[in-house]
Every structure is written in structure tokens, then in C-alpha cells.
Amino acid sequence: MKFLANENFPYPSIKMLRDNGLEVYSIGEEPIGISDEVVLNRAVLEELIILTFDRDYGELLFKYRLDPPPAVVYFWNKGKASTEASTMLLELLQNHYLVVQDMFTVISEDGIRQRKLR
């Protein structure tokens, strides 16, 4: 699995994911000001799973029916620590009962919800 962290995804979480052997590209390390549609297109073309705190991806995928990437992991809130998102994602990936691929996954304080992308 390869990931594309949206520009709002905290760098300490990106570093923690990379330190755990995951391949993570970051929009925040590239020129700022890329639209959500451009991020989505890149994720589709490069087969990257989007990591984001931006709920607009749900609207783009389900309301406007844009081509889906391999998956989206949407974090409902940023939490208290800048590495909280990476900790939650690592726990999600270790859960053998949940599949990330082809899913729009919402991680919140209340738990995990998923919806098929295709």
C-alpha cells in the first residue's frame, strides 16, 4: 500500500508512518495550493490511498461521482497529539477484520465507519 497525505495531514504522523515502513507521499511537501480534485486525480493515477482531515473527498466521490482512488481514510478530528492520526492508521492496518482497499474509511472518536467506493 502506498499513501498520499493531504496537505492538512500533520508531518509528525507522516514521519511516524514512514518510520514504520509505509510509503507515504505528502502534498504538504510539495507546492501548496493544489485543489482536492488534483489530489484525487493524482491518487487515482498513481494508485495511492488518500489520508486526509478534509471531508470534501466524500462529496467529490459520492455526490459528484469522480473516479475513486484505491481508498480514502478520512480522520474526523485531528486529536490532541500530532501523531494521533498515524497511531490510529497503524491500528487500522493491523485489524484483520477491516479492509481499507476500495473503501472510504472514517475514523472518529466514536469508532470506524466504512463505505464502498466502487
Residue reference for cell 486525480: 41
Mean pLDDT calculated for residue range 87-100: 93
Confidence class of residue 73 from pLDDT cuts 50, 70 and 90?
very high
Q: What is the pLDDT of residues 3-39, one digit of tens each?
A: 999 999 999 999 999 999 999 999 999 877 899 999 9
Q: What is the pLDDT of residues 100-116, one digit of tens each?
A: 999 999 999 889 999 99
Task: Using the predicted structure, report yes or no on whether residue 80 has a pLDDT greater than 90.
Answer: no
* pTM across the whole model: 0.95
Altogether, the residues listed in the chain come to a count of: 118
Least confident span in 4-8, 46-50, 78-82? 78-82
SS3 (DSSP) at 27: helix
Query: Do the Cβ atoms of 29 and 51 come closer than 8 Å?
Result: no
DSSP state of 109: T
**Pick from 118, 9, 113, 104: nearest CA to 57:** 104
Give dist(CA 46, CA 43) in Å, integer. 5
